[in-house]
Structure 1
Amino acid sequence: MGESGSGKSTLARMIVGLESSDSGTVLYRGSDVTRQTRGRRPGAQPGLGMVFQDPYTSLDPRMRVRDVIAEPLTVTRTGSSKERRDRVAELLELVGLQPDMMDRFPHQFSGGQRQRIGIARSLMRDPDVLVCDEPVSALDVTIQAQVTDLLVDIQDRLGLSILFISHDLSVVRNLAHRVLVMYRGEAVETGDVGQIFDRPGHAYTQELLASIPPLTRSERGKLTGVQAA
């Protein structure tokens, strides 16, 4: 977590290979993903998937949904056309959409539905880790809750880990097991969610938490009790 411009999205893009690093390493299963080919498509790194922030610009408007979701397998020439179509149908059901929607174009869906399509695409290659770059910030509050609940459900059902990037501290506190705080491109503090929110050690973290407005009774009622990594 961290304020806008703190480097959260840049770090996410480095992890999935859309940005190169100036220094340091990102290790996944003992392999430094920052030393692999720069500019590879998200999903090209086996085991890693990515959900982007804006569901309106992250889906190619010229492609039907079946092709959008199947793209990670299409570019690697994995499976037959029928196998990819069957997998698309399976994933649409997983994210709460009907399989017969796959022949539509992205503009025929709402913002929440588009983000569900983006989540389905990120799962096409059975990742172990899902990198979610502020996946609900472009959605209204009611839809935000639905999408975060969906991610928690997917994590429970598939047993994957989620790197959830957000500047919304109430969402972070409700979802996270562990928290990393970023400020001006650096990680300034990390720890269990209870430690970070109840006993922050860094001055910036203390300032950040002090800026959280108190929740209304209605907002407290909307928070889910399930945690996600």
Structure 2
Amino acid sequence: MSATLKIDFVSDISCPWCAIGLSSLLQALARVEGDIRAQVHCQPFELNPHMGPGGQDIGEHLSEKYGSTAEQQDQIRETIRQRGAEVGFEFSPAGRGRIYNTFNAHRLLHWAGVAHPQQQVALKLALLQACHRDRQAMDQSEVLLAAVAEAGLEVDSARTILDSDEFADEVRERESFYTSHGIHSVPAVVVNNRHLISGGQPVEVYERALREIAAQQ
């Protein structure tokens, strides 16, 4: 009899390590298929909740936030690109270019989780690809709606949400819940509401952790 795990994947689409983490987690789940059944829920976290319209140059942003040099950023970008390739996620060699406010993307992900839970992860991946592979402006409605279409969800319904404040309170409540429970960096993988796996881990690390947690049930 297979174990069933509830997995909350707490992340921001502007985070490259979240793209690596989700791709790695999905490969781990494929490895344990048959032994473990999992329900993956994408939960919101904003790295830059106060980012204004149009975003900010990524090099400038990273220098201001972390004090990193252009050379350090290039080195980290290449490490990220290589780690992504290992788990089948393609990053633009030139990086993101700019970083944007992602609140509307999280509203759409919340909607997908409520109305179409089986397609929420597909929407998350489409948004991550638009950001990190295609260098799209992630605060633009048409970019978000293109990801909705790619995930096979109703574009008209998504446009109605973007034109309103629907799910804004729900997203803020979820964000507050996770930060109040000590999550201040992403990705964070929370299994069965009690086990935390932090960071964009290799497939083997996720697989081992999932098997250990399932064995405790």
Q: TM-score under structure 1 normalisation?
A: 0.25
Q: Which structure shows the higher helix fraction?
A: 2
Q: Which structure has the larger Rg?
A: 1
